[in-house]
């Protein structure tokens, strides 16, 4: 071997010419370097896994999946959760149906039906609402519709209500409140998008509804076919409860009544109803009712009643609307195993002086309360008689001030803006437009508006005894709308036509579930 080749060979062997100690140190350094690289790689991988886990737990990936597809548009879990949440929140009887808010919806059977869960129930409702909204939004956009100023304001008001809801409920911010209310995939951006869709759908729906009109011949034709619903009835009705009461066992547990006890309770109610019928026929219904209530405060009797047919109880509507019925007729009618009505027919007519809608202005003067006042079951202070009298005195003073002026809607509106305690109408001068008999105001309020002989320009005072709202209303009937039977007929025709129109828009639409539905209802 040549000297040059030998030198090259020695140079190619790293440990050539080193002591054993140096060789050992070099090998330990190499091992340490390899371990450092390995640990670094493991650390990087672990960091990536932690990051992925954090992102997963944040809902980043889930929120971008497709939960439903409707007419080619994909909806995320957050978007579906808006409609799912609406379906849940709009059902006021969930607790009565056995719903447990602490148990996942997917783990609760709906109404005892083992084949259907609350998740299925809420999701079915959400799908129906989403299909209708999608169809209306698509049609609106195709027609070149965009949100008008009123609809835009409705969206902003809704968003603001969630902001205030977060504060009132003690959440640190609106984002956390929305997640608690709708689910972890809801954000303010998703909420705004959903609210805008709903607003555009409602806007387009209402515009089409308002465009539908019906002439006299159409209304008369409808009346002939539905006179029982459109005529006005005057009658008396008193109810005798036939419900058997539950009992308690030795351990204090509630025990449902037996069939024999139920039959006995119904039989007793029937005897009372029959006896009352005899009294009403031989004397006067009102007198007999007063005597009966004096002996049994549980009896339900509201005095002589005037109702349009569509609002009459189904329990005795058929009897009242019988063509052979004559003034003074009295009968006993069973009400679905719960008791018996005694009903007296007084009058039936198609009234041309009753109105179906009204524009009403009012001023609410709430009674002031003090620390000494008692608290009711709702946690509100109950004003004393003196405090209610003071509120009435102020209401009368405002009414006198109005009557001393020009008695116009504008002047009443100014008084309302300055004095009303009703935040819902104060800024509008106390105005509630297009009020109907089913607008949801308390009974005395509606009774004043639609009292017999009521006409535009009438004023008066109405006491409010509702919890937290006790006080007096100064009333002003600004204007009246269509005759009641015509309004009811037009509303029925419009409702049927709108249903047909919407069903046509929805034709071909279906909600197809995607993987994102797994993140809802848990």
Residue 9 pLDDT exceeds 90:
no
Query: From CA 131, how far away is CA 75, in angstroms rounded?
Result: 12
Name 182's bridge partners. none
Beta strand 232-241 pairing with 113-117: unpaired
Average pLDDT, stretch 261-271?
94
How is residue 4 written in tokens?
Answer: 């040059």
pLDDT at 465: 94
Residue 495 pLDDT exceeds 60:
yes
CA distances from 337 to 111, 269, 343, 348 (A): 22, 10, 17, 28
How is residue 277 written in tokens?
Answer: 């019928």
Instruction: Using the Cα atoms of residue 265, residue 270, residue 272 and residue 273 in order, give the sign of their dihedral.
Output: positive
pLDDT at 113: 77
Residue 279 pLDDT exceeds 60:
yes
Average pLDDT, stretch 257-270?
93
How is residue 406 written in tokens?
Answer: 């020009």
For 337-348, the pLDDT digits (tens) are 899 999 999 999
User: Is 485 in contact with 353 (CB distance < 8 Å)?
Assistant: no
pLDDT at 478: 97
Give the predicted TM-score (pTM) of the model. 0.72
When mean pLDDT is compared over 4-13, 104-113, 439-448, 491-500, the highest value belongs to: 491-500
pLDDT at 120: 94
Return all residues near 39 (Cβ < 8 A) that are at least 6 apart.
none
pLDDT at 336: 87
pLDDT at 255: 83
Return all residues near 238 (Cβ < 8 A) that are at least 6 apart.
276, 289, 292, 299, 300, 301, 341, 342
pLDDT at 25: 61
- 173: helix, strand or coil: coil
Burial class (CB in 10 A: 0-12, 13-18, 19+), 1: exposed
pLDDT at 522: 83
When mean pLDDT is compared over 9-23, 52-66, 105-119, 472-486, the highest value belongs to: 472-486
Torsion of CA 494, 499, 502, 508, to 10 degrees: -160
For 155-209, the pLDDT digits (tens) are 999 999 999 999 999 999 999 999 999 989 999 999 999 999 999 999 999 999 9
The 8-class DSSP code of residue 172 comes to S
Please state the separation of Cα 85 from the chain's center in Å: 11
DSSP notation for 94-151: TGGGT--TTS-GGGSEETTEEEEEHHHHHHHHHHHHHHHHHHHHHHHHHTT----HHH
DSSP notation for 274-303: HHHHHHHHHS-HHHHHHHHHHH-TT-EE-S
**Sole residue written with tokens 């002026």:** 405
pLDDT at 378: 84
Query: From CA 456, how far away is CA 476, in angstroms rounded?
Result: 8
**Average pLDDT value over all residues in the chain:** 88
Determine phi and psi for 471, rounding to 5 degrees: 160, -150
pLDDT at 521: 86
pLDDT at 35: 58
- 181: helix, strand or coil: helix
pLDDT at 439: 86
pLDDT at 29: 63
């Amino acid at each position: 071997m040549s000297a040059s080749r030998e030198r090259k060979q020695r140079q190619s062997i790293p440990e050539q010419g080193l002591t054993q100690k140096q060789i050992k140190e070099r090998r330990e350094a190499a091992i340490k370097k390899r371990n450092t690289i390995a640990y670094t790689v493991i650390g990087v991988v672990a960091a990536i896994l932690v990051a992925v886990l954090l992102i997963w737990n944040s809902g980043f990936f889930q929120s971008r999946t497709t939960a439903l597809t409707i007419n080619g548009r994909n909806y995320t879990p957050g978007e579906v959760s808006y409609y799912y949440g609406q379906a849940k929140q709009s059902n006021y009887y969930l607790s009565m149906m056995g719903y447990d808010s602490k148990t996942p919806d997917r783990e609760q059977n709906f109404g005892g039906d083992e084949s259907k869960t609350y998740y299925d129930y809420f999701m079915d409702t959400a799908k129906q609402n989403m299909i209708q909204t999608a169809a209306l939004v698509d049609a609106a956009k195709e027609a070149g519709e965009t949100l008008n100023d009123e609809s835009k304001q409705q969206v902003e008001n809704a968003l603001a209500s969630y902001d205030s809801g977060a504060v009132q409920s003690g959440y640190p911010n609106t984002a956390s409140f929305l997640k608690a209310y709708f689910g972890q995939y809801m954000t303010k951006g998703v909420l705004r998008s959903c609210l805008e869709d709903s607003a555009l759908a409602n806007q387009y729906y209402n515009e089409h509804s308002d465009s539908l009109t019906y002439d006299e011949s159409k209304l008369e034709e409808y009346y002939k076919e539905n006179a029982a619903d459109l005529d006005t009835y005057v009658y008396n009705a008193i109810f005798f409860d036939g419900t058997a009461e539950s009992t308690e066992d030795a351990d204090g547990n509630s025990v449902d009544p037996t069939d024999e006890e139920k039959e006995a309770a119904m039989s007793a109610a029937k005897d009372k109803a029959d006896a009352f019928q005899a009294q009403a026929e031989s004397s006067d219904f009102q007198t007999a009712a007063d005597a009966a209530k004096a002996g049994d405060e549980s009896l339900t009797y509201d005095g002589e009643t005037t109702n349009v047919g569509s609002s009459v109880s189904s329990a005795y509507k058929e009897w009242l609307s019988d063509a052979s019925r004559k003034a003074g007729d009295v009968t006993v009618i069973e009400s679905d195993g719960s008791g018996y009505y005694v009903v007296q027919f007084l009058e039936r007519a198609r009234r041309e002086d009753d109105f179906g809608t009204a524009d009403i202005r009012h001023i609410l003067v709430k009674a002031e309360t003090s620390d000494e006042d008692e608290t009711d079951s709702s946690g509100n202070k109950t004003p004393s008689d003196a405090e209610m009298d003071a509120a009435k005195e102020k209401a009368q003073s405002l009414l006198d001030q109005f009557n001393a002026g020009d008695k116009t809607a504008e002047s009443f509106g100014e008084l309302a803006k300055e004095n009303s305690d009703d935040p819902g109408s104060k800024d509008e001068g106390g105005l509630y437009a297009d009020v109907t008999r089913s607008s949801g105001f308390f009974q005395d309020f509606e009774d004043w508006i639609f009292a017999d002989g009521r006409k535009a320009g009438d004023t008066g005072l109405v006491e409010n005894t509702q919890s937290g709202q006790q006080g007096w209303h100064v009333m002003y009937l600004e204007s009246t709308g269509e005759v009641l039977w015509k309004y009811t007929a037009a509303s029925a025709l419009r409702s049927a036509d709108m249903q047909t129109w919407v069903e046509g828009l929805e034709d071909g639409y279906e909600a197809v579930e995607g993987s994102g539905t797994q993140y809802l209802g848990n």
